[in-house]
Amino acid sequence: MYFVDRSVAVVKPKEPFMAWLNAVPGNDMDLSLESLRADCTVILLPEFAEPEEAVSYIDEIYEQLFKMELASWYEDEALWPQDRSLKTFWEWFDVEIHSTVIDSVDDDIMNSPAGEL
């Protein structure tokens, strides 16, 4: 096992995201918040000395994160909410910051682009 020189952020949908998702025309999934938060997006971040620095970094990339979360459900941007401000991002998502990342696999990490991120 190896320490990785990164931090991580876990992006977890909140009630307003679920309400939007369940209100999209043609959506018949009727998802619960518990199911949405069971398997969340994890983002590698640079290492930070303080959690506040990581939150500031999230503030810098929130637009890409917001778009990525919306696009993971619907690629048609016409279905997306009009207000995708920083304030709305924080109302729609919890972000957990974790400073210790350990790689338990001896293989190299394969990188591939994640949309526009």
Whether the predicted pLDDT of 117 surpasses 60? no
Of 12, 17, 22, nearest to 70 (Cα)? 17
Question: Please, what is the average pLDDT of the chain?
Answer: 91
| Beta bridge pairs of residue 103 | 2
Counted residue by residue, the chain has a size of: 117
Q: How confident is the model at residue 105 (pLDDT cuts 50, 70, 90)?
A: confident
pLDDT tens column, 8-52: 999 999 999 999 999 998 888 878 899 889 999 999 999 998 889
CA–centroid distance for 70 within its chain? 10
Q: What is the model's pTM? A: 0.86
Tokens encoding 89? 């991002």
